[in-house]
């Protein structure tokens, strides 16, 4: 008996939900970018957390910079809706991370920032600049100087 595509999809979703429930995995949900508010958001540091947070951003054309985030899994990101043609990958010398992030904020809509060492002063400066320029920073670690809204 040949199942329709919608029946197979429904069955696959139910199977996925059962596995997530069994393993204690909760799906990553983000409201529409928390009302598109600029600022700092704390996301998980797993590749899945990064992929799903940023895939939600691509509801409209935006540019994303990925700063010091180790292997994301670009094929999975693309399949999740991430526009790789609008993605910049940046590796920074640790002593220049703040300056590079600041420069990226001037032309990039959304930044994903991995584990970089930033002083409290630089964190506050970058957070203020992000708000002023209506940009979002998704950090995989807590920026203790500014807190940041937890997403996911």
| Burial label, 104 (beta-carbon count in 10 A; 0-12, 13-18, 19+) | buried
Note the pLDDT of residue 29: 42
Q: How much is the pLDDT for 152? A: 47
More confident residue, 85 or 35: 85
Express as a percent the part of the chain with pLDDT over 70: 79
Q: Which residues of 34-63 are buried (b: 16+ CB within 10 A; e: fewer)?
A: eeeebbbbbbeeebbbbbbbbbbbbeeebb
Backbone angles phi, psi at 138, to 5 degrees: -105, 110
pLDDT bin (cut points 50, 70, 90) of residue 20 is low
* Whole-angstrom distance, CA of residue 21 vs CA of residue 152: 16
Domains of the chain in start order, with CATH, are 27-150 (3.40.50.300)
- Name which of 134, 63, 129 is nearest 102 in CA terms: 129
pLDDT, mean over the chain: 81
For the cut 50, the answer to whether the pLDDT of residue 130 exceeds it is yes
| Percentage of residues in the chain having pLDDT higher than 90 | 38
- Indicate if the pLDDT at residue 149 is higher than 70: no
Cβ atoms of 55 and 27 within 8 Å: the answer is no
At residue 32, does pLDDT exceed 80? Answer: no
């Amino acid at each position: 008996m040949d199942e329709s595509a919608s029946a197979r999809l429904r069955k696959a979703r139910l199977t996925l939900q059962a596995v997530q429930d069994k393993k204690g995995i909760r799906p990553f949900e983000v409201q529409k970018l928390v009302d598109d508010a600029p600022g700092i958001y704390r996301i998980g540091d797993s590749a899945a957390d990064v992929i799903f947070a940023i895939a939600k951003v691509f509801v409209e054309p935006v540019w994303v910079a990925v700063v010091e985030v180790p292997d994301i899994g670009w094929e999975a990101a693309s399949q999740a809706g991430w526009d790789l043609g609008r993605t910049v990958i940046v590796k920074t010398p640790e002593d220049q991370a703040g300056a590079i992030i600041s420069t990226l904020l001037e032309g990039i809509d959304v930044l994903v920032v991995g584990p970089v060492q930033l002083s409290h002063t630089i964190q506050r400066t970058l957070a203020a600049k992000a708000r002023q320029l209506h940009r979002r920073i998704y950090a995989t670690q807590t920026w203790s100087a500014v807190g940041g809204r937890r997403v996911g």
